[in-house]
Amino acid sequence: MDVLGDVLAAMRAGRPYAGRTRCWEPWGVRFPAGDSACCHIVLQGACCLISPDGAPLTLGVGDVLFTAPGRGHVLADRPGSPLTDFRPVRDGESLITDLNIPGPGAATEMLCVCYSFDRVRPHPLLADLPPVIHLPARVGHHRSLRSTVDLMGDELREPRVGSEAILTPLVDMLLLYVLRAWLDEQSAAGATGWAAALTDPAIGTALHDLHRRPEHPWTVAELATRAGVSRATFAKRFVTAVGRPPLAYLTWWRMSTASRLLLGTDAPLQSVAERCGYGSEYAFAKAFKREYGIAPGRYRRKARSGSPTG
C-alpha cells in the first residue's frame, strides 16, 4: 500500500471541483479560506498570486500553484484589479465547474481544482504542508504531472460521455503528483517533518507496515527491527518526522481506518474491530469513543442520517 496515496484517501472529504477558468483583463478571483486545497495551472496568458502576507507571485504558462486548506488567496491579472468571489457554476452534483469573467483586455485561461480535506480530524501531513507550493514550468520537469494536466484539460474543454468517471481519478492523480514533486524538492533540500518521513527508508518502511497491517500487534522493537535501526534511534527519528510516537500514530491510523470502514461499508462492528487490531468489540468501542467522542455504532447511524458526527 502506498502511504502517500493512503494519506490522501484519509484526508479526502466531499466532492472536488475541477474546471477551466477564463478571465479577461482586468480581473481578480478571491478564493475563500475554507477546507479545500486548490491547484491552479496556467494554460494561457499570465496572472499573479496575491497574498496578504507576501509580495505578488507571477505565474506564467505551465506554472502549477498549490494552496493548502485554510488559506484564502487571490489570483488576478495584477494587484488592484476588481475582485470576484469564487462561486463556480456546477451542474447539480457534477464535479465539473465553470467560471468566466468577461472584460476588454487580454485573456488568461487556467485549469483550477479545489479538493476538500477533512479539517475536523486532519492527517498530520496537512500541518506540514506549506501555505503555497509553486512548481514553475521547466522543460523536462514533472512530465507525469504535465501529462495529467493535458488529460484533464482535454476532458474539461469538451466534456463527453464518461468525463466524470475519467476526471475523478485524474483529480487524485493531479494532487498526488503535486505533493510528490514537493516531497522530491524537500528531499533534495534536506527534508524535515513528513517530507522526511515519506523519504526516510526506515520511517517509510514503518509507515508502510502500519498502514498495510493496522490489525497487527505492533511494538516499537519490531518496527525498529524491520526498519533496520536500533529501537532508540527509530523511536527518536519517528517522533521527529511524524510528530508523535509510533504506537500513538498506529492508534490514530487505526481509528481513521475504523471511521472509513464504518462510513463506507456495512461491516459488523466486531469485524471492524478485528480489522483495526482490537480483540473485542468493547475494547474497540472504548478506543473509538475516546478518539471521536461518540460510540462507533452511533457514529455510523448519525453519519448516514446526515447529522454531524462530532
pLDDT band at 2 (very low <50, low <70, confident <90, very high): confident
pLDDT band at 61 (very low <50, low <70, confident <90, very high): very high
Q: What's the rounded mean pLDDT across residues 69-80?
A: 88
What fold does the segment set 3-188 form as a domain?
Jelly Rolls (2.60.120)
pLDDT of residue 99: 81
- For the chain, give every domain's residue range: 3-188, 200-310
pLDDT band at 310 (very low <50, low <70, confident <90, very high): low
Residues near 208 by beta carbon (within 8 Å), at least 6 away in sequence: 1, 3
The rounded distance, in Å, linking the Cα atoms of 199 and 190 is 10
**Residue 112, amino acid:** C
* Lateral strand order in the sheet of 73-76: 57-59, 47-50, 73-76, 28-31, 84-85
pLDDT of residue 107: 94
pLDDT one-digit tens code per residue, 238-273: 999 898 999 999 999 999 999 989 988 999 999 999
The rounded distance, in Å, linking the Cα atoms of 218 and 211 is 11
Q: How far is residue 304 from each of residues 35, 118, 121, 266, 309, measured CA to CA in Å?
A: 21, 17, 18, 11, 10
The rounded distance, in Å, linking the Cα atoms of 291 and 299 is 12
The rounded distance, in Å, linking the Cα atoms of 34 and 50 is 17
**Strands in 16-82 per DSSP E:** 17-24, 28-31, 36-44, 47-50, 57-59, 64-67, 73-76
The rounded distance, in Å, linking the Cα atoms of 224 and 193 is 19
Q: Does residue 214 contact residue 251 with C-beta atoms inside 8 Å?
A: no
85: Cα within 13 Å, side-chain hemisphere:
4
Q: How high does pLDDT run on average in the chain?
A: 87
Q: Is 268 exposed, middle or buried (0-12, 13-18, 19+ CB in 10 A)?
A: exposed
Q: Among residues 42, 10, 294, which one has the least CA distance to residue 126?
A: 10
Cell of 138: 521547466
CATH class of segment(s) 200-310: mainly alpha
Cell of 198: 515519506
pLDDT one-digit tens code per residue, 155-197: 888 888 888 888 888 988 898 899 888 888 877 666 677 878 8
Residues near 196 by beta carbon (within 8 Å), at least 6 away in sequence: 186, 187, 203, 240, 241
